[in-house]
Structure 1
Amino acid sequence: MSDLRDTRGDAMRRRVLGDAHVDRAHRNMSAFDAPFQEFITRGAWGEVWSRPHLTPRERSMLTITLLAALGHHDEMAMHVRATANTGASAADVQEALLHVAVYAGVPAANTAFAIAKRVLAEMTAGSSADGEGGQDR
């Protein structure tokens, strides 16, 4: 890590997604995607997620809502898993997805509810909350 944003970004990414997820992303990193991994660590995690005004719980709900609305299902599932680390509850996810229905459309929310329901059930059954099964971002 070359600067404070990298260090802060790596720490936040680990806090939200878990060490196992971040370690797996690092292991799977190649020369091709290394610049992207560095960009998201610095930009998304070191600049945006590390800002003090919103809590990780609030950022988690915003992220899930945006990913659901945009149809980024793998990323949304990963962030639903990360609620185990951010403090967002199943009720928080439910409320966020109801907003998706109103502002992004019922089809987007219908798919998002199905994904969240599956992921939350897996988490309740004891599955890993470290982002396993999602993209290595």
Structure 2
Amino acid sequence: MTESMAARGDRIRREVLGDEHVDRSNQNASPFSKPVQDLVTEYCWGVAWGDDTLDRKTRSLLNIVMMVALNRRHELELHTKGALRNGVSPEEIQAALIQATIYCGVPAGMEGFRAAASVVDEEGR
């Protein structure tokens, strides 16, 4: 039997973000917010991340720069942690953040560096 997109998304999400994060997100979902959790799991993780055209390191770096551009600190921290799990080095994260700083602006880049540094420092301990 072929893996459903929802099952594939749950598996990939757990591989990238960890069981603890996924379990906490699912447990904290209310009846009101559960549909968006299901949507994210199936489409973000099952469809987008489930496509093998780009490797996970590349996807992680893309997400980091998109979160800088969108000024989404929480998601940037989450995806920085996932990037490290996907084998992205701190130096590669720095290079992506420099790129984002040039194209998204210095204030966005500075905030991105602050957010990513907090994760890289924490994970390095």
Distance 2:83 2:58 in 1: 10
- The percentage of counterpart residues that share the same residue type is 37
| 1:84 partner letter | L
Summarize deviations over 1:92-131 as a string: whole Å, max 9, x none. Answer: 1101101111111111101111111121111111xxxxxx
Distance 1:84 1:19 in 2: 15
Please name the residue that 1:105 is paired with.
105
Distance 2:107 2:92 in 1: 20
Distance 1:14 1:51 in 2: 16
Higher relative contact order (CA 8 A, sep 6+): 1
* 3-state SS in 2 of match to 1:61: helix
TM-score by length of 2: 0.94
Deviation at 1:83, TM superposition (A): 2.0
Q: How do 1:70-81 residues align onto structure 2 when only pairs under 5 Å count?
A: 70-81=70-81
Please name the residue that 1:9 is paired with.
9
Please name the residue that 1:122 is paired with.
122
Deviation at 1:26, TM superposition (A): 1.2
Q: How do 1:1-137 residues align onto structure 2 when only pairs under 5 Å count?
A: 4-125=4-125
Count of residues in correspondence between the two structures: 123
Flag the structure with higher helix content.
2
Distance 1:52 1:82 in 2: 17
Distance 1:35 1:4 in 2: 17
Distance 1:77 1:11 in 2: 20
Q: Which runs of 4+ in 1 moved over 4 A?
A: none
TM-score by length of 1: 0.86
CA RMSD of aligned residues (A): 1.0
* 3-state SS in 1 of match to 2:115: helix
Distance 1:11 1:76 in 2: 21
Stretches of structure 1 lacking an aligned partner (at least 5 in a row): 126-137
